[in-house]
């Protein structure tokens, strides 16, 4: 493939640039590619750890597509970890394409992956506006989907059990009564975008939110309003979404090598 093909596919369809949040890196973060540069080997990864970069250089990867980039904010000084990463990258001509939060809202991205993985019915998207007044479909409003022969309504405890099995999670943080009937669920494949978001989804009839992050103030608000909250680990959701993206790219470019560097979860439970 040529770089312009993968660049266009990512920017226009698989992880649109217009869905990124403010002050985020998106697109080529390291290296340079002309439109007609030939790309034969692509590695996907969640994070640009030293191990991931080392693996890419050893395997002579042309392009790394990563969820998180080398840096998350402007560089104030070159710390030793960043220096080590740049030193590794200099050993072989690799380019890095960063997706960041655009991959949360994208069709087939992280939010959609959670919906499909935990067996829900998509109702509609939940949008937020960025500074350019572009609607970003960051969330998904869903209805419960029942397993075959399931007669009773879906309770919070049932949903927690389903998430633990389908997302392969040992423990979950949640707010709400285990016997609460779940009527409509909002999915956010990242952290909550703003303080008003919980109020927004409640007005749309939602009584449960599944997100990768919420704070204690959110938990208090949820308790007072009767909203159930479930926090799912970033890694479990993101790695499944990146596997889907890897499969999509493999089908799109069958004559080239596309693979996922599956780094382990960096967060442990004791």
Please provide the DSSP assignment of 4-18 as one string: HHHHHHIIIIIS-GG
Please state which CATH class domain 3-102+237-260 belongs to.
alpha beta
Tens-digit pLDDT profile for residues 134-179: 889 999 999 998 767 766 789 999 999 999 999 999 999 999 999 9
Cα–Cα distance measured from residue 242 to residue 261, given in angstroms and rounded to the nearest whole number: 10
What is the DSSP code string of 19-79?
Answer: GPPTT---EEEES---TT-B--EEEEESS--HHHHHHHHHTT-SEEEESS-S-SS--SS--
Do the Cβ atoms of 70 and 91 come closer than 8 Å? no
pLDDT digits (tens, 9 = 90+) for 41-68: 999 999 999 999 999 999 999 999 999 9
Give the closest residue to 101 by CA, choosing from 139, 131, 75: 139
Residues 127, 12, 240: CA angle, nearest 5 degrees: 70
One fold for both 3-102+237-260 and 107-232? yes
150: Cβ contacts below 8 Å, ≥ 6 apart:
none
DSSP three-state, residue 120:
strand
Residue in the structure block whose two tokens are 């960051």 = 138
Angle between helices 50-58 and 80-89 (to 10 degrees): 10
CATH 3.40.1390.30 fits 107-232, yes or no: yes
3-state helix, strand, coil in the chain (%, to 5): 35, 25, 40
Q: Give the H or E element holding residue 137.
A: strand 135-144
pLDDT digits (tens, 9 = 90+) for 220-251: 999 999 999 999 999 999 999 999 999 999 99
Tell me, yes or no, if the pTM score tops 0.95. Answer: no
**Nearest-angstrom CA–CA distance, 240 and 269:** 20
Summarize pLDDT for 102-123 with one digit per residue, the tens. Answer: 999 999 999 999 999 999 999 9
- 193 token code pair: 């975008």
CA 23 to chain centre: 17
DSSP string, 64-75: EEESS-S-SS--
Domain ranges for the chain, please list them. Answer: 3-102+237-260, 107-232
């Amino acid at each position: 493939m040529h770089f312009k093909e993968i660049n266009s596919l990512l920017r226009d369809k698989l992880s649109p640039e217009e869905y990124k949040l403010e002050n985020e890196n998106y697109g080529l973060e390291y290296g340079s590619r002309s439109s007609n540069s030939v790309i034969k080997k692509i590695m996907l990864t969640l994070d640009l750890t030293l191990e991931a970069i080392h693996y890419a250089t050893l395997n002579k990867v042309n392009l790394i597509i990563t969820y998180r980039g080398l840096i998350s904010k402007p560089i104030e000084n070159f710390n030793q970890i960043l220096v080590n990463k740049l030193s590794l990258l200099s050993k072989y001509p690799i380019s890095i394409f960063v997706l960041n939060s655009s991959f949360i809202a994208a069709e087939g991205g992280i939010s959609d992956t959670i919906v499909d993985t935990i067996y829900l019915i998509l109702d509609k998207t939940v949008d937020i506006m960025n500074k350019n007044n572009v609607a970003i479909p960051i969330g998904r409003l869903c209805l419960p989907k029942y397993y075959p022969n399931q007669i009773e309504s879906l309770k919070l405890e049932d949903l927690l059990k389903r998430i633990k099995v389908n997302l392969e999670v040992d423990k979950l943080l949640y707010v709400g009564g285990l016997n609460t009937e779940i009527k409509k669920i909002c999915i956010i494949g990242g952290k909550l975008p703003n303080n008003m978001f919980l109020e927004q989804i409640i007005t749309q009839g939602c009584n449960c939110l599944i997100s990768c992050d919420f704070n204690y103030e959110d938990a208090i608000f949820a308790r007072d309003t009767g909203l159930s909250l479930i926090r799912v680990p970033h890694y479990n959701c993101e790695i499944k979404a990146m596997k889907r993206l890897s499969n999509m790219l493999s089908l799109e470019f069958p004559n080239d090598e596309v693979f996922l560097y599956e780094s382990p979860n960096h967060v442990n439970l004791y």
